[in-house]
Amino acid sequence: MTEAPQPYSATKMTCYRHPDRPTYIRCQRCGKPICTECMVSASVGYQCPDCVRQATKSTKPFRTRFGSVWKVRNTNVTSIVLIAINVAVWLAIMVTGGESSKLVPYISDSLSSLCFTPDMTQYYPALGAAADCAAVGGVFVPGFTDGAFWQPLTSMFTHVSVLHIAFNMLALWFLGPSLERFVGRGKFLAIYLISGLGGSALALWLSSYGTTSYGASGAIFGLMGALMLCAWRAGADIRNLFFWLAMNLLLTFTSSGISWQGHIGGLAVGVGLAALICFAPAGRDREKRQWLGIWAVAALVLVLLVARMFV
């Protein structure tokens, strides 16, 4: 005969997870006794871990304005991590020589290979082959078309001047968390990285041989374009964003030493990705459609980069 379960004693209680610990606290939902280690603060009283876990499973996940599941409360973290990576690369460049750092030629976007003098301060414009560079005792640095396939990725985290990194990181700090609240962490990271690669792709296709470019500006322009489109789609006031974008475009085409190709490429990719996210039809397959569109754009950017290596 099966013995019926005994109720918890009202006078002698021990934690249901730790029988050796006496307690006077019960779970507000199921009534089981819980010790101070097991009790979880609730809106009223305390709950046991089992009830909290069950409530979490039964709670419908919160979704952003465009269908992404909101998994984190602090949307600043993602931008802080990206800023930290950029700053870490900048510090590495600073401690290895700043503008004369030997790191910069290897991690910047360069269409063609370059032959530098041993101190890496000058290069021989007519020597683009490894054998010719070795003959004069130079330092050969391969370009993207000669196999430096990592440059489009590393270049978007590369900065040399304080003003350059300060402006880009300030923009990332203001744009990143706002965009993540609209599209979620995964899609925000996708927009940042693919926009940066898109800026590099256009720069590599339209820049002349011997041109070197770097910086997070392509990714930042992608964030600006994406946030403006998402905010407009959500019915928010975008006048400040539009003014900011217009001023940056004006500086892009009126200032020297700026890769307009990288800025426009990043902006185009960012707006395109945001359009796929914001205008995806609502429904059960909305998330799937959004990610299929994102991967399609990423594949297109990669095709453009790979094609440039052979053209």
Q: Tell me which residues are annotated as active site.
A: 217, 263
H helix count then E strand count, the chain: 11, 7
- Token digits of residue 294: 């994102």
Residue 271 Cα distances to 61, 125, 227, 265, angstroms: 27, 37, 8, 10
Residue 279 Cα distances to 54, 105, 183, 296, angstroms: 35, 40, 12, 16
- Kindly write down the DSSP assignment for every residue of 128-172, as one continuous string: -SHHHHHHTT-EEE--GGGT-TTHHHHGGG---SHHHHHHHHHHH
- Token digits of residue 275: 């359009």
The half-sphere exposure of 270 on its side-chain side, counting CA atoms within 13 A, is 31
Chain centroid to CA 28? 41
Q: Are 70 and 63 in contact (CB under 8 A)?
A: yes
Residue 193 Cα distances to 20, 52, 57, 144, 226, angstroms: 53, 37, 32, 18, 13
Q: Name 101's Cβ contacts closer than 8 Å, sequence gap at least 6.
A: 93, 94, 120, 160
